[in-house]
């Protein structure tokens, strides 16, 4: 789901690759916004179905994972949309929108779990408290792989190739942190359908990492 690129003449007469036009971006962003909303609603429905076989408690690994990974995913969605809307490279825009759409759907699914379990979506436990030694992995309030406020602002204000590379570097770090959290959940949970969903998240993020690294190598090379 990437926007098509256009070319503009340069002073040398050679075509220069640019991002989508304003009209293309507005149309593309509207379609993406609709897809993301639909994905979240489908995720909530799927989450409710997944939650039926068992009801984890408020301080369970499943509940803690759902809450913390929801927050983790929200930042990935924001990063992906920045890449889609402002990126100058077609592959970067495509990767960004794919990540935004998939992680918004997974966010909806995890929120569906919590609703079905009749648990607060945020809870009172500290970040990562569900994970052995997890609280020690929180740095400045940030879970593994998450970008700081300053890093997110830098991404928002970057342009051209700088933005493309920055997004790829930040998302690689973000996904590695997310996979670490999934592995911790898989080590602790015996809730079959939750662990199956978590494994699918891991598989998707591992595929994303391959695409992210390939794009980064190309742009840096």
Query: What are the structure tokens assigned to 82, written together?
Result: 């920045």
Instruction: Calculate mean pLDDT across residues 24-35.
Output: 51
State the total domains in the chain: 1
Q: Is residue 77 part of a domain?
A: yes
pLDDT interval class at 23 (50, 70, 90):
very low
- Please name the residues in contact with 45: beta carbons below 8 A apart, sequence gap of 6 or more: 112
Q: Which is higher by pLDDT, 98 or 1?
A: 98
pTM: 0.78
- Specify if 3 maps to a domain: no
CATH number, domain of 199, equals 1.20.1260.10
What pLDDT digit, counting tens, does each position of 151-203 carry? 999 999 999 999 999 999 999 999 999 999 999 999 999 999 899 999 999 99
Which residue range(s) make up the domain with 32?
A: 20-220
Question: Which carries the bigger pLDDT value, residue 179 or residue 13?
Answer: 179
Residue 215 lies in a domain: yes
Residue 5 resides in a domain: no
Average confidence (pLDDT) over 6-22: 40
User: Has residue 4 been placed in a domain?
Assistant: no
Residue 82: pLDDT over 80: yes
CA count, 13 A, side-chain hemisphere, 60: 18
* Domain assignment of residue 39, yes or no: yes
User: Is residue 6 in a domain?
Assistant: no
Residue 17's beta-bridge partner residues?
A: 7
Distances (CA, A) of 145 to 62, 152, 209, 218: 20, 13, 13, 23
Residue 178 lies in a domain: yes
Distance (Å, whole) CA 130 – CA 65: 7
Task: Give residue 193's pLDDT.
Answer: 87
The reported pLDDT for the residue numbered 138 is 97
Q: How far apart are CA 135 and CA 157, in angstroms?
A: 31
């Amino acid at each position: 789901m990437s926007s098509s690129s256009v070319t503009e003449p340069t002073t040398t007469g050679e075509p220069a690759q640019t991002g989508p036009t304003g009209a293309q971006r507005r149309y593309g962003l509207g379609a993406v916004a609709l897809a993301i909303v639909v994905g979240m609603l489908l995720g909530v429905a799927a989450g409710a179905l997944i939650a039926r076989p068992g009801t984890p408690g408020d301080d369970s690994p499943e509940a803690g994972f759902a809450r913390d990974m929801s927050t983790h995913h929200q930042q990935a969605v924001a990063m992906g949309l920045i890449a889609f809307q402002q990126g100058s490279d077609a592959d970067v825009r495509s990767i960004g929108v794919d990540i935004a759409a998939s992680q918004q759907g997974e966010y909806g699914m995890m929120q569906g779990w919590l609703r079905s379990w009749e648990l607060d979506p945020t809870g009172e436990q500290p970040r990562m408290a569900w994970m052995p030694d997890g609280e020690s992995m929180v740095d400045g309030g940030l879970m593994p792989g998450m970008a700081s406020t300053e890093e997110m602002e830098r991404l928002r204000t970057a342009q051209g190739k700088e933005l493309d590379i920055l997004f790829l570097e930040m998302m690689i770090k973000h996904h590695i942190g997310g996979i670490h959290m999934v592995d911790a959940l898989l080590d602790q949970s015996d809730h079959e359908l939750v662990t199956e969903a978590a494994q699918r998240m891991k598989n998707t993020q591992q595929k994303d990492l391959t695409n992210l690294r390939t794009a980064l190598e190309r742009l840096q090379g």
